[in-house]
């Protein structure tokens, strides 16, 4: 195969990484809310769907040992596309809930496997210099995929409903559109992804070194200095955001009578799925610049305040309400901008913590722990808490949980502090 320029495959590869994640973890929230489920049900069900991203380090060595990352990328994109198409056809049936949960879980496992392979392919296919050169492009197209998923495609479902389509039919068409995009990406990558690896024998999985490799990574991870405070920081730093992540979309979409803001799909897709993601991306860019200029130690607490204090906008909106779309959009943008700023410091800490022996494998364990403590577990219980307390009291409680973020930040030891 002809050697392809990175510009021909990096943007589409990370677009393909973002779309299934957006479908499983973000679009599903709106779908289940419109299909009549309670917040408790929605957050519990969709919380379990995050399990593959938590446990993906368990099978990443298997993926590394069988065939090539290019083969896995193509296979997962086609599998995800087929599963999304099946999902679309099951939504108008009376078994839509059971079928959708099973298919979303299949898509989640496919997406987590795709993440492993895409990141590995990026490392193998580029020199160290090119990895640094294209990291901004990679992250930008991942965010574009998120905008397309929770912004444009949710808006598509809204436009179809405004045109007279039922909720199940409008979402069926929407998920068929996502399926078509994944199939097209698979066909495109079959032609455009370079071959950067030799085909490996499937017998590699049976070699003793495979299991020894996993055990050695565990040993390195649990031998890190200041492990207890590091684990507390990794697990609990994102607790307030983990509680907010699933409830904010539901709060924005619920009717005023239910305590929400009553946004339509089109309004939600524009405010949260588009402007919110732009704020998140902008915060990440500015946060990266600030840390590169002033250092992580100096910027840690300012960025911690950025990820926590803006959460108060939802306290205001839930108490006073608003039908002013510009005000709602501004509040969401401010909160997501702060989230992007603070998450940059958190990510850079994980990178610093992972430095040393087996850094890539250690980092995968870090991301698994952060997803478990900062997304999956708080997300699963957030709906029950909000149903018990109401949105206003829930958002006030989230501000209280910011104290947990402050506590683990005060305890953590930054690598640059060690002497």
Q: What is the pLDDT of residues 22-32, one digit of tens each?
A: 999 889 999 99
Report field, pTM of the whole predicted structure over 0.75 = yes
What pLDDT is attached to residue 199?
63
**At CA 386, angle to CA 254 and CA 111, rounded to 5?**
75
**385 in any annotated domain:** yes
**211 in any annotated domain:** no
Co-location of 325 and 371 in the same domain: yes
Co-location of 53 and 158 in the same domain: yes
What pLDDT is attached to residue 136?
66
Q: How many domains does the chain have?
A: 2
Domain of residue 184 covers 1-206
d(CA 191, CA 357): 36
Co-location of 378 and 291 in the same domain: yes
Q: Write the pLDDT tens digit of every residue in 243-268.
A: 999 999 999 999 999 999 999 999 99
**406 in any annotated domain:** yes
Compute the mean pLDDT over every residue in the chain, rounded to the nearest whole number.
87
Q: Write the pLDDT tens digit of every residue in 312-323.
A: 999 999 999 888
**159 in any annotated domain:** yes
Co-location of 31 and 175 in the same domain: yes
Co-location of 194 and 276 in the same domain: no
Co-location of 192 and 240 in the same domain: no
Lowest mean pLDDT among 237-241, 354-358, 404-408: 354-358
Q: Are 79 and 42 in contact (CB under 8 A)?
A: no
**417 in any annotated domain:** no
Co-location of 46 and 123 in the same domain: yes
d(CA 309, CA 403): 11
Domain boundary among 206, 236, 256: 206
d(CA 69, CA 76): 10
Domain boundary among 177, 206, 235: 206
d(CA 105, CA 47): 11
- pLDDT > 70? residue 201: no
**392 in any annotated domain:** yes
What pLDDT is attached to residue 314?
96
Neighbours of 354 (CB within 10 A): 22
Over residues 277-285, the mean pLDDT reads 87
- pLDDT > 60? residue 206: no
Co-location of 321 and 196 in the same domain: no
Co-location of 288 and 315 in the same domain: yes
Domain boundary among 206, 238, 257: 206
CATH code of the domain containing 235: 1.20.1250.20
Our CA dihedral for 307, 361, 131, 127, rounded to 10 degrees, sits at 170
Co-location of 111 and 243 in the same domain: no
Co-location of 123 and 237 in the same domain: no
Number of H helices, E strands in the chain: 20, 0
Co-location of 296 and 385 in the same domain: yes
Q: Write the pLDDT tens digit of every residue in 78-127.
A: 999 999 999 999 999 999 999 999 999 999 999 999 988 887 787 777 77
What pLDDT is attached to residue 3?
55
176: Cβ contacts below 8 Å, ≥ 6 apart: 84, 85, 88
What pLDDT is attached to residue 336?
92
**212 in any annotated domain:** no
**418 in any annotated domain:** no
């Amino acid at each position: 195969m002809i050697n392809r320029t990175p510009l021909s495959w990096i943007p589409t590869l990370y677009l393909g990484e973002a779309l299934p994640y957006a479908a499983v973890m973000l679009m599903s929230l709106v779908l289940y809310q419109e299909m009549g489920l309670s917040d408790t049900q929605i957050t519990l069900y969709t919380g379990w769907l995050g399990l593959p991203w938590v446990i993906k380090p368990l099978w990443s060595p298997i993926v590394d040992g069988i065939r090539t990352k290019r083969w896995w990328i193509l296979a997962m994109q086609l599998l995800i596309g087929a599963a999304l198409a099946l999902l679309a056809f099951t939504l108008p049936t009376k078994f839509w809930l059971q079928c959708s949960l099973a298919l979303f879980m299949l898509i989640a496992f496919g997406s987590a496997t795709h993440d492993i392979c895409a990141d590995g392919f990026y490392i193998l296919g580029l020199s160290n210099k090119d990895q640094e050169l294209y990291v901004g492009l990679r992250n930008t197209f991942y965010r574009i995929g998120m905008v397309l998923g929770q912004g444009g495609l949710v808006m598509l479902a809204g436009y179809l409903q405004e045109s007279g389509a039922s909720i199940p039919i409008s979402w069926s068409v929407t998920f068929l559109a996502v399926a078509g995009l994944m199939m097209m990406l698979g066909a495109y990558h079959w032609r455009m992804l370079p071959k950067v690896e030799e085909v490996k024998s499937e017998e590699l999985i049976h070699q003793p070194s495979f299991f020894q490799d996993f055990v050695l990574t565990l040993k390195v991870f649990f031998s890190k200095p200041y492990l207890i405070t590091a684990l507390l920081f990794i697990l609990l730093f994102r607790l307030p955001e983990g509680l907010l992540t699933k409830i904010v979309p539901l709060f924005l979409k619920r009717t005023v009578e239910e305590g929400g803001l009553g946004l339509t799909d089109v309004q939600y897709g524009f405010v949260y799925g588009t402007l919110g993601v732009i704020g998140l991306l902008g915060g990440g860019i500015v946060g990266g610049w600030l840390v590169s200029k002033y250092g992580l130690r100096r910027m840690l607490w300012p960025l911690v305040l950025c990820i926590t204090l803006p959460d108060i906008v939802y306290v205001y909106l839930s108490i006073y309400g608003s039908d002013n779309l510009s005000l709602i959009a501004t509040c969401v943008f401010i909160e997501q901008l702060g989230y992007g700023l603070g998450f940059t410091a958190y990510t850079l800490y994980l990178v610093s913590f992972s430095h040393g022996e087996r850094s890539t494998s250690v980092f995968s364990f870090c991301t698994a722990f952060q997803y478990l403590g900062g997304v999956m577990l708080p997300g699963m219980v957030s709906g029950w808490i909000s149903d018990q307390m109401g949105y206003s009291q829930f958002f006030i409680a989230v501000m209280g949980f910011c104290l947990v973020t402050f506590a683990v930040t005060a305890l953590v030891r930054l690598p640059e502090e060690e002497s």
